[in-house]
A = this chain, B = another copy of it.
């Protein structure tokens, strides 16, 4: 390391005091090393992030390479365990084993997992049947083909994975998004027993729509995407939708897994190996109890606009040019479908299949037992150009650039980097969940962070990031270093702040890093089950310009290379920017002498949660004689401990202290998210152990156990439910106190 590098260190600091300390340290050794008889490992041990190397990395990330990757990855449909999936396994392996641009090592790891498929020889059918059993209308079995991509025989029929096979027939009702409130509203004025409900995607999870419906005796459900929710109202494939734009064609259908728990459903908490104990299928509780089928909005239009009954509430009205009635149940007497039933014939079957993760590593030089994990799933529903291949294309470009440096002997990270190309994510984050179950202890002990880039580019307007608060700092540092596609001077950070920002009590106006509270992609097992500081990074659209709840071709046969390159990210500069950003985050985590996590940012998040809960709950809890003081004190202790640790870091002269001290502080930072784990806090939620970021039903942005327990108690008024509020208060206060303890003086 030369003095110009040293200057760059000082220029590009991640946080003032830290960099100062590190700079002093480097200076100390940079000066000493020519003269000394010090052990030869000293220079290596104190090696810090090399800013010029990061600049090189950023410049070498190539949009054309990403485009080529994507073209290769999307040649054929590659649903989990299909021949197309196997082709991507081979492709990723080939890339990671390449002698010039590969990693140190790469291999596949298989799990035998429980998947659900439609029957190719006996496709699912949805029909309108009159009392004489004549079929008046048949829902399309396949999406309209505009290009050869849609004609590939491997395009799987749209279906609801894990919907049971079975036949359901009944009068149709329209149930909005299928929430409990939606069904309750219908149930007020009609008997839902034996009806078929048509519901829209959105608001509640896929499976929840069916689980809720079954509680009212509904016999089957149809799910579609309303043009108002995805297409800004556009409906015509002649002029408006794909192939004319990014909008969803009328016959496009969102496929999806209809389960709630993530991971292999038959082997909770156990890696799904050949001889692993499996629960019986009957013990699965979170999949649809009734036949369920997704359909396109062209077909939904044909059904909904014929419905009889009262006009649905205004909020339930969608994008069709007709009034959405709730159903008689059934169709208008003036309709060609009068007196007819809707019939579902579902032939889905479930099967144990071998699904592969592909793993690759670059071994760390100084701390090989510290892991930076970077991953994305490989399986798609159809061609999956955006979901997930945009992320895989980005990952392969990052590994190409880094692999080349490693193979040429120009660089080796301080810590180990592990890349994961996960299998069967679309069926419930299965590959990543099984991986965390199998390597639970090793990952718990050694993982510094997990970076997830699934859909790399929803659109090419701005960065979007969700993360543990500990990681906000390194994301900011990276986004300040990387420039947006359209400009040589505007940073990703500045551009991002224009689209999504918030006012931070400590930092002022900053880009809004979202909380990782859900289980929308493979970060779930890392963040929620293992408590590894995780982040999910992508490029996305300007939300002022569209109301689409996600990119419109999501999970359809239109999510193709053509679609991606024409309408999502022409020129692949969005992909390039994500690769540069996520790669820079990765490098800073892998190479920084001191981990670039900030516990004071965590303190701020806890304070925001606390403020919200005090505002919402305190008075009522005082009336119930439940004190919130332990929670208030815990958050206060955490803030004090965080300030103390950051003070220690600022005041440290690492050059004159043992590497054990560096490791100690890094362990404090690395293990911070682990401190919030409680495996008994949410017994009914598979894998959710993080008491701050676990999934939450309540809309109140605060501690999830507390928020959900309060909502329940407030609605029932039962003493047992108030006891649960008290219990969750104690659980979260103890976790925060425990976390504060880990940041305090180590003895």
> A357-383: which have CB < 8 Å to B?
361, 363-364, 366-369, 371
Q: How far is the CA of A41 from the CA of B42 in the complex (A)?
A: 11
| A184 CB within 8 Å of chain B | no
Nearest opposing residue in chain B for A414, CB measure: B660
Of the listed stretches A138-146, A202-210, A505-513, A729-737, chain B binds A729-737
Nearest opposing residue in chain B for A445, CB measure: B671
Q: Are B416 and A656 in contact (CB under 8 A)?
A: no
| A629 CB within 8 Å of chain B | yes
In the assembled complex, which residues on chain B have CB atoms less than 8 Å from the CB atom of A671? 441, 445
User: Using an 8 Å CB-CB cutoff, how does the interface string of A644-673 with B read, 1 for contact, 0 for none?
Assistant: 000000000001111110011001100100
In the assembled complex, which residues on chain B have CB atoms less than 8 Å from the CB atom of A37? 32, 35-38
User: Given contacts A361-B747, A629-B275, are A738 and B440 in contact (CB under 8 A)?
Assistant: yes
Q: How far is the CA of A439 from the CA of B627 in the complex (A)?
A: 22
| A442 CB within 8 Å of chain B | yes
Q: List 10 A-B contacts (CB under 8 A).
A: A39-B42, A41-B657, A42-B42, A270-B734, A273-B630, A276-B630, A364-B747, A437-B734, A659-B660, A660-B663
CB of A450 to closest CB in B, whole Å? 16
> A721-742: which have CB < 8 Å to B?
723, 726-727, 729-731, 734, 737-739, 741-742
**Which of B438, B657, B730 is in CB contact (< 8 Å) with A277?**
B730
Q: How far is the CA of A258 from the CA of B499 in the complex (A)?
A: 63
Q: Are B747 and A416 in contact (CB under 8 A)?
A: yes
User: Given contacts A36-B38, A445-B667, are A277 and B727 in contact (CB under 8 A)?
Assistant: yes
| A446 CB within 8 Å of chain B | yes
| Of A663, A671, A731, most B-chain CB atoms within 10 Å | A663
Q: How far is the CA of A275 from the CA of B441 in the complex (A)?
A: 33
Q: Are A738 and B627 in contact (CB under 8 A)?
A: no
In the assembled complex, which residues on chain B have CB atoms less than 8 Å from the CB atom of A679? 679-680
Known A37-B38, A45-B659; further 13 A-B contacts with Cβ < 8 A = A32-B37, A41-B657, A42-B42, A273-B630, A275-B630, A276-B734, A277-B723, A369-B664, A369-B668, A439-B738, A441-B741, A660-B663, A679-B680
Q: Are B273 and A442 in contact (CB under 8 A)?
A: no
User: Using an 8 Å CB-CB cutoff, how does the interface string of A19-58 with B read, 1 for contact, 0 for none?
Assistant: 0000000000000100111111110110000000000000
In the assembled complex, which residues on chain B have CB atoms less than 8 Å from the CB atom of A38? 36-39, 42
In the assembled complex, which residues on chain B have CB atoms less than 8 Å from the CB atom of A738? 438-442
| Of A441, A680, A739, most B-chain CB atoms within 10 Å | A441
Q: How far is the CA of A416 from the CA of B438 in the complex (A)?
A: 33
Q: How far is the CA of A267 from the CA of B730 in the complex (A)?
A: 10
CB of A592 to closest CB in B, whole Å? 14
Q: Are A658 and B363 in contact (CB under 8 A)?
A: no
> A440-463: which have CB < 8 Å to B?
440-442, 445-446
| A1 CB within 8 Å of chain B | no
| Of A40, A275, A418, A675, most B-chain CB atoms within 10 Å | A275
Q: Are B367 and A664 in contact (CB under 8 A)?
A: yes
Q: How far is the CA of A361 from the CA of B438 in the complex (A)?
A: 37
A: residues with CB less than 8 A from B are 32, 35-42, 44-45, 267, 269-271, 273, 275-277, 361, 363-364, 366-369, 371, 416, 418, 437-442, 445-446, 627, 629-630, 655-660, 663-664, 667-668, 671, 674-675, 678-680, 723, 726-727, 729-731, 734, 737-739, 741-742, 746-747
Q: How far is the CA of A363 from the CA of B745 in the complex (A)?
A: 11
| Of A32, A416, A741, most B-chain CB atoms within 10 Å | A741
In the assembled complex, which residues on chain B have CB atoms less than 8 Å from the CB atom of A39? 38, 42, 655-656
In the assembled complex, which residues on chain B have CB atoms less than 8 Å from the CB atom of A45? 658-660
In the assembled complex, which residues on chain B have CB atoms less than 8 Å from the CB atom of A675? 441
In the assembled complex, which residues on chain B have CB atoms less than 8 Å from the CB atom of A667? 369, 445
CB of A150 to closest CB in B, whole Å? 43
Q: Nearest 10 A-B pairs (CB), nearest first?
A: A369-B746, A679-B679, A277-B730, A441-B738, A277-B726, A441-B675, A45-B658, A277-B727, A416-B747, A41-B658
In the assembled complex, which residues on chain B have CB atoms less than 8 Å from the CB atom of A734? 270-271, 276, 437-438
Q: How far is the CA of A418 from the CA of B445 in the complex (A)?
A: 23
CB of A662 to closest CB in B, whole Å? 9
CB of A282 to closest CB in B, whole Å? 12
Q: How far is the CA of A20 from the CA of B325 in the complex (A)?
A: 84
Q: Are B656 and A741 in contact (CB under 8 A)?
A: no
Q: How far is the CA of A630 from the CA of B675 in the complex (A)?
A: 32
In the assembled complex, which residues on chain B have CB atoms less than 8 Å from the CB atom of A629? 275
Q: Are A363 and B441 in contact (CB under 8 A)?
A: no
Q: How far is the CA of A675 from the CA of B439 in the complex (A)?
A: 10
CB of A338 to closest CB in B, whole Å? 51
